[in-house]
Structure 1
Amino acid sequence: MTNTTEHEGTPAPRAGIEQVQRVGAWKVTLWRPLDATSGGAREIRIEPHEEGDPQEVARGVTSTVLRQIDTAAFAEEAEPLAALANAGRGVVETFRQELACLPKGVSDEYLAVLSALYVRFVNIGRRAPAQDLEFWTGAKQATLKGHLRAARQRGFLTKVEGKAGGQLTDKSVEFLKKTSVSNVRLP
């Protein structure tokens, strides 16, 4: 139900909840952004269905077609997904606030937290841990990759040749015991 359509030449998918319904010869796509607190669809796109009757398509979208769009079903299905997305956003925001409380710059505390978060993403099988780090920290991937290099050079993270990975060092674990960042092991 989330928007995952990717077509060449079209804009990147927007974060939102999408539902597709078939109404006669028409494909109806309802969409609502994840940050919407309540309500139904914000956008409705109607286009001919691949298997739609050409004669019905030739008549165009009628008021009968519009009345058959089940907006209540969309709203009912979207509410729990939006609530879940918004709940997750609060956890990320809390993490970012705690990260901001660490000593400024590329401090040892920051590198320990970043290393722990990175190892967590790798261990749960995330294919692009740098993208996940970008989402959780708000920093750009290029910056984060430099910080991970610094973490390895300064002894917070072990190195794995040719692929994402590594383990926390004892030095990292000691710094993590002293930090106030509570969600390092929870993403």
Structure 2
Amino acid sequence: MTNTNDHDGGAPPRAGVEQVQRIGSWKVTMWLPLDSTSGNPREIRIEPHEAGDPQEVARGITTTVLRQIDTAAFAEEVGSLAKLAHSGQQAVESFRRELASLPKGVSDEYLAVLSALYVRFVNAGRRAPAQDLELWTGTKQATLKGHLRAARQRGFLTKVEGKPGGQLTDKAVETLRGINVEEVRQP
């Protein structure tokens, strides 16, 4: 079983968990998206295995092959991961509600929280912190980049030339102290 973020052709990337089983001359791939609340696969793909018997492949997929697909083992293995992903999604939704409770618009409070979250992602070594911000805030990356630019211009976040990064300024720390931490929890 592996975590995947692969995709076909021009389709957008899909985050999920997949497991591959070999049944005779067939490769069976089961996939479950990370936002799923069950452990059962959402997709099952059956294709000839690279080392499969050409004669068996020529006969096609039989009911014998279909009966051997072990979705129960997949669900058992993935069930705890699905629960973890679901709880993670609940944390994101809770953060979004709490972020929405801040003063409307691009307020100082919003910029301070956004800057703190951004710095947290950068310090955690995230390669694309703007993507993480998009997930956590529900705001498009282009808009978030503008908000981060505003945070730097208003003195909440320092600038790092040519790459993601920066540090919270004293102004940001003071603004964050004025926000009830119970209201806005960071991931």
Q: What is the TM-score when the length of structure 2 is the normalising length?
A: 0.92
Q: How many Å separate the matches in 2 of 1:144 and 1:87?
A: 25
Letter of the structure 2 residue corresponding to residue 3 of structure 1: T
Question: Which secondary structure does the structure 1 equivalent of 2:51 belong to?
Answer: coil
Q: How many Å separate the matches in 2 of 1:182 and 1:84?
A: 21
169, 181, 184: which is aligned to 1:182?
Answer: 184
Q: How many Å separate the matches in 2 of 1:172 and 1:10?
A: 41
Question: 2:7 aligned with 1:6, yes or no?
Answer: yes
Q: How many Å separate the matches in 1 of 2:10 and 2:149?
A: 35
Q: How many Å separate the matches in 2 of 1:75 and 1:60?
A: 26
Q: How many Å separate the matches in 1 of 2:95 and 2:62?
A: 50
The answer to whether the Cα contact below 8 Å between 1:3 and 1:13 also exists between their aligned partners in 2 is no
The answer to whether the Cα contact below 8 Å between 2:39 and 2:74 also exists between their aligned partners in 1 is no
Q: How many Å separate the matches in 2 of 1:42 and 1:152?
A: 43
The answer to whether the Cα contact below 8 Å between 2:36 and 2:86 also exists between their aligned partners in 1 is no
Letter of the structure 2 residue corresponding to residue 87 of structure 1: S
The answer to whether the Cα contact below 8 Å between 1:31 and 1:41 also exists between their aligned partners in 2 is yes
Structure 2 counterpart of 1:40: 40
- Label 1:120 to 1:81 Cα distance change in 2 as closer, same or farther (>3 A): same
Structure 1 unpaired stretches of 5+: none
- Deviation at residue 10 of structure 1 after TM alignment: 4.8
Matched ranges for 1:8-87 at <5 A:
9-87=9-87
Q: How many Å separate the matches in 2 of 1:168 and 1:39?
A: 40
Q: Structure 1 stretch 102-111 or stretch 15-24: which is displaced more?
A: 15-24
Q: Where has structure 1 moved over 4 Å in runs of 4 or more?
A: none
Q: How many Å separate the matches in 2 of 1:14 and 1:38?
A: 17
Structure 1 counterpart of 2:97: 97
User: What's the % identity of the aligned pairs?
Assistant: 74
Q: What is the TM-score when the length of structure 1 is the normalising length?
A: 0.92
- 1:2-29 per-position Cα deviation (integer Å, ceiling 9, x unaligned): 333334x252233333211110100001
Letter of the structure 2 residue corresponding to residue 183 of structure 1: R
Structure 2 unpaired stretches of 5+: none
What is the root-mean-square deviation of aligned Cα atoms in Å?
1.5
- 1:14-49 per-position Cα deviation (integer Å, ceiling 9, x unaligned): 333321111010000112333332252232211101
Question: Which secondary structure does the structure 1 equivalent of 2:4 belong to?
Answer: coil
Question: Which secondary structure does the structure 1 equivalent of 2:20 belong to?
Answer: strand
Paired residues in the alignment total: 184
Letter of the structure 1 residue corresponding to residue 78 of structure 2: A
- Label 1:126 to 1:132 Cα distance change in 2 as closer, same or farther (>3 A): same
Question: Which secondary structure does the structure 2 equivalent of 1:2 belong to?
Answer: strand
Question: Which secondary structure does the structure 1 equivalent of 2:75 belong to?
Answer: helix
Structure 2 counterpart of 1:158: 158
- Label 1:10 to 1:49 Cα distance change in 2 as closer, same or farther (>3 A): farther
